[in-house]
Structure formats: structure tokens, C-alpha cells
Amino acid sequence: MPRLHHFKNPDINFQEDHFKTTSKPHTPSPKKRDYQRKAQRKEDNHSRCTYIHPQTGKRCKNLLGMYPRYCELHTMMVNNVFIAKSNIEAAGNGLYAGPYGFKKGDVIGKYSFPWNEVKLGSLYKRCKDDSCWSYVFCDEGDTNDTQCWDGLDIRSTLMRNMNDAHGSKLKNNAYFDVIKGQVYAIASRNIKPMKEILISYGPSYWDNK
């Protein structure tokens, strides 16, 4: 079992509890409403991040749309990752290591949260095509009670942006692991700062393609 070593920025100005949260309108779950279409209807095509820099007092913005661009100050300095165009052709966005990189065995981030938890049986009823399963991670098992996590919602987890190196000249440097009922992305080798994080989706993912 890997050590649960989570990133914590050594700069006290960028610790998560040093950011102030601000109230924002409630956004309905994308299970009830198409979030991407709603986002694209916004006049300035931006959504304000809930994090305010403790020194400047400025609130950063998330660029919305088909490939949302999240606040890089927040993701790089709090989560040590950022989203940018993938090095894999036609893969869209990818997830990259921030300025501190990761060592082998480090936790890159968490995939499972209460808001993206779902039972396998519910997915079978809901999903009618392959694209519905693209962001689903299920713990081992084959019953309707098997626990799964669905990252289709663009707000669900930053880890949803990781690509698999399958079919490219690149190599994976991370893997998924279930630890105490939670799904984590773990570094399988050292990942240098600003390098793309590539994770194995598992053989069953590609067998179904």
C-alpha cells in the first residue's frame, strides 16, 4: 500500500486554509441539467473561482466551455497540478505536475468524492453509449452494488483530466488505487515539474473500445 503523502505547499501564503471562500450561487447538479450548455450561455464565459489570494485580495477566474480552464493559481499552488493541452494527439486537455513535481508513491490527487459516487447498477440504467462510461472508475466487483465514481461532471475532480499513454510513444507515470474505500491517483515513478501526468485506465477500459 502506498504512503498517503499528500502535497502541501511549503509557502505559508498558499496553504489551502489561507484562502478565503466567498458565497456563490448554487449550480444544479449536471445530472439534472447540462452544465456545459449553461456555462456557455454566460455573458463573459467566465466563472469566478471561490479562492481569493490572501495578499492581493484578487479573485481568480475559471474559463468555462467544452474544455474549461481552471484557476492556475489555485490548482498549481494548492494542488500542485494544472490543466493544459495534452501531449497526446487528439486527447484534448491533460493534467500536468505543478512546480514541485511528485515523487514515486506520492498521492497526486483524489478521484472519489461524495458528489461523484454512484452504484454500478445505476450506471447500467443510465448509460446508453460508450461515452457515458469514459470517466467512470469502479472498484472490483460485478454486482449492482459495486461502488463507482463518475468524473463526467467537469467540476467533479481535477484528476478527470489525466490521459492514458495507451497507443502513444509516451509512458504512464501514475496509476489508480483504492485505499480505505477512496480512489487516489498515485505516482508510479518520479514526475518532474511541468510534466504531463499519464495514468493507466486498466486493460478492461481498452478491451471495451
3-25 core/surface letters (b: 16 or more CB in 10 A; e: else) = eeeebebeeeebeeeebeeeeee
**Model pLDDT, residue 43:** 37
**Model pLDDT, residue 133:** 75
- In tens digits, the chain (209 residues) has pLDDT values of 445 666 666 655 555 544 443 444 444 444 434 434 433 333 344 444 555 555 666 655 555 444 445 566 667 777 888 888 899 988 888 999 988 999 999 999 888 777 677 888 787 887 776 667 777 887 765 555 677 878 776 666 788 889 999 889 999 999 998 888 788 899 999 999 999 999 988 776 666 65
**Model pLDDT, residue 128:** 72
Domain containing 122 equals: 5-205
**Model pLDDT, residue 126:** 78
CA distance 6 to 109: 8
CA distances from 160 to 36, 112, 125, 134, 189 (A): 15, 10, 22, 10, 20
**Model pLDDT, residue 18:** 44
**Model pLDDT, residue 28:** 46
Domain count, the chain: 1
Other CB atoms within 10 Å distance of the CB of residue 76: 22
**Model pLDDT, residue 146:** 78
**Model pLDDT, residue 204:** 67
**Model pLDDT, residue 159:** 87
**Model pLDDT, residue 13:** 55
**Model pLDDT, residue 194:** 93
Q: Tell me the Cα Rg of the chain.
A: 17
**Model pLDDT, residue 39:** 37
Nearest to 7 by CA among 184, 182, 179, 139: 184
**Model pLDDT, residue 148:** 80
For residue 55, what is the domain's CATH number?
Answer: 2.170.270.10
**Model pLDDT, residue 162:** 92
What's the chain look like in SS3?
CCCCCECCCCCHHHCHHHCECCCCCCCCCCCCCCHHHHHHCCCCCEEEEEEECCCCCCEEEEECCCCCECCHHHHHHHCCEEEEECCCCCCCEEEEECCCCECCCCEEEECCCHHHEEEHHHHHHHCCCHHHHCCEEECCCCCCCCEEEECCCCCCCHHHHCECCCCCCCCCCEEEEEECCEEEEEECCCECCCCEEEECCCHHHHHCC
